[in-house]
Structure formats: C-alpha cells, structure tokens
Chain A
Amino acid sequence: MNAAEVTKLMSELKVAVKPRHRRLKNPGGSEGRLINLSKTVTALLKYERIEVHYSRGDEARGYAERLISDAIRYGDQHKPTMEMADFWLRDKSVIHKLFKVLCPRFENYKGSATRMFMAPRSYNLDNKDVLKKYKLLSVLELNGNPYPPVLPDRSQKNRRLIHNVLLNEARKEFYLQKQKSESDKDVNEEIVTKHPVENINETETK
C-alpha cells in the first residue's frame, strides 16, 4: 500500500483519472461492478460511440484506455493480456477488433483513445419513468470513429456564412435608415417649434 507496485509496467493514461474509484450501485458487489463495466467497455469498443450515464461512462473510460494501452504494449501473443481482453470484452469479435483495428489506430496517437462529451438532459414531464431519473447523460466515443463529429465544426468563422453576411448587411441598413429618419425628424422639429415670423425678421435684419 505504501510502496508502488512495480511488477507490471504500464503506460501513463492521457485521461484525467480520479483518485478513487466509483462503486456504481449494483447488487453484485465489486464483482458485479466489473461485470457491468465490462458490458459498457464492450459496447464502446464495438459501436465506437455510446450514450451512457456520466459516472458509468467515466469509470468505463479508464478501463477502456487501460485495455487499449496494454494491448498496444504487449500485443495479442501475450497470455495475460489475452485473458484480460477475454474478461473485459464479452463479444469475442470485439477482441479481434481490439488487436487488429484499434491497436494500429492508437499506436502512434498523441492524445487519448477516448473522448467524452456531456449530453443534453431531457426532463420529459409526459414520461413518468423519465421523471424518476433525471439522467446526467454523456456521450463516450473512441477517437478516429467514422461518424460525423459530435460538436459542430468551429474552425470557420461564423461571419463568413451567407446568412450571417446578409443579416449583417440588413442590420447595417436598418441602423442607417433609423439614423436618417431620426435626423430628418430633428430638422422638422426645429423648424416647427420656432415662430415663423421671428425667423423672417431675423434673416431680414442680417
């Protein structure tokens, strides 16, 4: 406990790891927790993007990253790694995918293998079941997945989009017209408030 365990070498995870594990309410105890998390990890590696409760997703993320880093380090000929993959991946076709597809993908990757987003929380008043659990959902995905990105592409400036260009021009026109109409109004007011006779006398004397 007080000294570091050094029998097994492992790579540093490029993901923030909380100091303590989450117990994740389940009737199976610590074994049940691992079995439930293995289902999440299998789904993540199989479908490459899953929507899951935040705490479960965060826990599964650590295990997925560790599994991928071990698979990259030791390869599929290493017996303990194969046993680990056998436990964590319920679907045996995903074991093949891990070593043949995901390992070459993440071998020279600079960042983490997974990415997590916060999903919108829907509070559906019609559905009584949903009312009971106001879920803190998150989207957990593998980097390099074939789907369109979760977040919109912010690399291009909004101002260049045609509707924004037209809107900006319309806004400028509106303000110009408003200024013009206001200045006309002021001139008319000036002429109307002052006495017409006094004006003529003033001009004549000068």
Chain B
Amino acid sequence: MIRVLQRQINRKQNVLVRYLSAQPESEAKESNVEQKILKKKSSFISPEYRFQYQEFLPDPQHRLRNSVREALERKDMLSRRTQIYIPEFYVGSIVAATSSDPHSQGKTNRFLGICIDRERCGLKANFILRNVIDHQGIEIKFEMYDPTLQKIEVIKLEKRLDEKLYYLRDALPEYSTFDLNMEPELIPEGSQVPVNPLKVQLKPRPWLERWERQELKGVEDINQHLYDKHRRLAAMRATPWEKYDLMKEYRKSIPEEEQKKIFSEIFSRMKQINDEHKKNMKAKRSITKPKTLA
C-alpha cells in the first residue's frame, strides 16, 4: 500500500515538473523542484556505493570520456545485472565463479579463489581469482559482465590490508590455497566488511616484482629478504612527495558531485535488483526437505 502511494507521489511530482516546464516564468521553480528530487534521491545513496559499485564510475582520463557511451554502458550493465546477481565483494574476498564451458561435463566450470585484483570500469570490469591446485598456482581473470559467466558466489566477504594482492605470487603457497568446496560464510546484513589483518610470508628471492619498493602492509618482515643495496635503491626511487600532489589525485578520481549524479541514476534499478535477490534467497531457504516419510 505504502509503495503504491510512493509511486503515485513520484508520478505527481513528475507531472508537476512537466507542467512547470511549459511555463517560461516559473523556470526557477522547476529547477528548485528538480533539485529537491535529486537531493531526496541522493540522500538515499549510501557513502559505500562508490566502493560497492566502483565499475559504474567512468575512467577519469579526459581523452576517454564520452557521456553518451558511459550512459549506454550503464544501461547495459544494469540490464545484465537483472539476469545474473553480481554480489558485493572486494580484493581479498574468496569468490567462486561459474562460467559456461562447452567441453566439460554439465557444460559449466566452477573456479574458486581469492580475488587479487579488480580492474577497469564499465562493461570491461574484471576480477582475478587465484588458487593453488595440485601445487600449481592458477589465476583466472573473469569479466563481470561476460554473458558466459553464469554465477558469482561470495564464499567469504572480507578485505585485506592492501588494494592489490599480486604479492601472493611470491608468497608461500599456503597463503593462496583454498578448498574448492569451501562452505560460504555468511555475515549479518548491514555490518561493516571485516578487514583481515593477515600478514603474508614471502618466499626467498628472486621475486617477480620489487615488493620492497611498493608500500605493502600485508607482507610480514620483508627486511629479512633485503640486502643494503635493495634498501638504498628503494630509498632512491621513493616518491614521498606524491601524496601531496593534489591535482594528480584530482585527475585520477571522479569528483563527488559527478559520483552522486551517476549513482542517483542507477539507484532505483539497483534497489529493485537487490530486493528481488533477497526475495529469491528467502524463498530458497524456506524450502526444506521433509525428515520423516509419509
């Protein structure tokens, strides 16, 4: 009942805006009404949206910006999300992705691993899952809006101390091994995403990258692997002034006003999708097998 009333109110507001726009005198009034509607919408948008739906924000590089293409991409992303539920997960979460495979039995292939990176934005958004299977480290890059991707399950939702976990390639294999048939761990709804303060031990050199030059918080006692030469060269290459470069961080980011505008566009559809998913999950849980025979 309340939902129907809300819809009616929204419709009336829209009619009001249209009526006002027909009269040139009351242009100021129309903009006020529109601003109020936008403010109302943006007040529903939580500050976590920019982390959860980061791929909806465009690439801040000026030469790649195209408002029409971005709007069309967002539309396509939302329509794909109605087909497959893409849950909230971060780098450091353990995720199982099921993609279609024509050559396997059952035509699907499920891979479970820790998410070490989430790259790109828009329809190109992807994530890399890493696992060690039969003593062989394996990484698979999945594209989030790939139509052959059938299901994404979050086994364990958590964050790590770093934003990218490429150092797991040079860490001891135990830090990258996860049981392929792990049971999902559920977190109570509305709680903050836990940060796993695990510090990883690296294998001795040679490494794939110079981990001492990257300020990694998730690596334990990196000094034991370093000689003086490494420390000296790392100090030489360090750029401590970069954190003060205000324009550099501005050019790499999307300002808050634009973020709000984008999220207010997708807010109502996302809410619908999330509500439907919750309904489906509840329906599944309510089905229980009878314990006693008739």
Chain A residues at the B interface, C-beta cutoff of 8 Å? 1-6, 8-13, 17, 19, 21, 30-31, 34, 59, 62-63, 66-67, 70, 84, 87-88
The answer to whether A6 touches B54 (Cβ under 8 A) is yes
A19-B63, A34-B241, A62-B250 as given contacts; A6 in contact with B258, CB under 8 Å? no
Chain B residues at the A interface, C-beta cutoff of 8 Å? 47, 50-51, 54-55, 57-63, 118-121, 124-125, 239, 241-242, 244-259
Q: Which 3 A-B pairs have the closest CB atoms?
A: A19-B62, A12-B255, A66-B246
A3-B54, A19-B62 as given contacts; A31 in contact with B241, CB under 8 Å? yes
- For the A-B complex with A4-B58, A87-B244 known, give 6 more contacts whose Cβ atoms are closer than 8 Å: A5-B60, A6-B259, A10-B256, A12-B255, A30-B241, A66-B250
Task: Give the dominant DSSP class at B's interface.
Answer: helix
The answer to whether B247 touches A17 (Cβ under 8 A) is yes
A76, B207: Cα distance in complex, Å: 43
| Sample of 25 A–B contacts (CB below 8 Å) | A1-B252, A3-B54, A3-B118, A3-B121, A4-B57, A4-B58, A4-B59, A4-B121, A4-B254, A5-B60, A6-B50, A9-B259, A11-B256, A19-B62, A19-B63, A19-B251, A21-B247, A34-B244, A59-B247, A62-B247, A66-B246, A66-B247, A84-B244, A84-B246, A88-B244
The answer to whether B246 touches A70 (Cβ under 8 A) is yes
The answer to whether B241 touches A4 (Cβ under 8 A) is no
The answer to whether B57 touches A6 (Cβ under 8 A) is yes
The answer to whether B239 touches A2 (Cβ under 8 A) is no
Q: Which of B63, B118, B242, B250 is in CB contact (< 8 Å) with A10?
A: B250
A114, B120: Cα distance in complex, Å: 35
Residues from chain A with a CB closer than 8 A to the CB of B121 are 2-4
Residues from chain B with a CB closer than 8 A to the CB of A13 are 250, 255
Residues from chain A with a CB closer than 8 A to the CB of B50 are 6, 9
A85, B160: Cα distance in complex, Å: 30
Residues from chain B with a CB closer than 8 A to the CB of A9 are 47, 50, 256, 259
What is the distance, in angstroms, from B236's C-beta to the closest C-beta of chain A? 12
What is the distance, in angstroms, from A102's C-beta to the closest C-beta of chain B? 16
The answer to whether B253 touches A8 (Cβ under 8 A) is yes
The answer to whether A12 touches B247 (Cβ under 8 A) is no
A67, B257: Cα distance in complex, Å: 18
What is the distance, in angstroms, from A62's C-beta to the closest C-beta of chain B? 5
The answer to whether A10 touches B57 (Cβ under 8 A) is no
For B49, the closest partner residue in chain A by CB is: A6
For A63, the closest partner residue in chain B by CB is: B246
What is the distance, in angstroms, from B146's C-beta to the closest C-beta of chain A? 17
Q: Which of B47, B239, B247 is in CB contact (< 8 Å) with A63?
A: B247
Residues from chain B with a CB closer than 8 A to the CB of A62 are 246-247, 250
A3-B118, A63-B246 as given contacts; A12 in contact with B253, CB under 8 Å? no
The answer to whether A30 touches B251 (Cβ under 8 A) is no
What is the distance, in angstroms, from A131's C-beta to the closest C-beta of chain B? 33
Residues from chain A with a CB closer than 8 A to the CB of B251 are 17, 19, 21
Residues from chain B with a CB closer than 8 A to the CB of A63 are 246-247
A19, B247: Cα distance in complex, Å: 10
What is the distance, in angstroms, from B94's C-beta to the closest C-beta of chain A? 21
Residues from chain B with a CB closer than 8 A to the CB of A84 are 244, 246
Residues from chain A with a CB closer than 8 A to the CB of B255 are 10-13
The answer to whether A2 touches B59 (Cβ under 8 A) is yes
The answer to whether B59 touches A11 (Cβ under 8 A) is no
Q: Give the one of A4, A10, A12 with max B CB within 10 A.
A: A4
Q: Give the one of A2, A19, A63 with max B CB within 10 A.
A: A2
A34, B55: Cα distance in complex, Å: 32
The answer to whether B245 touches A34 (Cβ under 8 A) is yes
For A66, the closest partner residue in chain B by CB is: B246
Q: Give the one of B54, B118, B121, B255 with max A CB within 10 A.
A: B255
Residues from chain B with a CB closer than 8 A to the CB of A31 are 239, 241
Q: Which of B62, B124, B245, B253 is in CB contact (< 8 Å) with A4?
A: B253
A9, B121: Cα distance in complex, Å: 18
A87, B47: Cα distance in complex, Å: 29
What is the distance, in angstroms, from A39's C-beta to the closest C-beta of chain B? 14
The answer to whether B244 touches A3 (Cβ under 8 A) is no
What is the distance, in angstroms, from A109's C-beta to the closest C-beta of chain B? 15
Residues from chain A with a CB closer than 8 A to the CB of B57 are 3-4, 6
Residues from chain B with a CB closer than 8 A to the CB of A59 are 247
For A59, the closest partner residue in chain B by CB is: B247
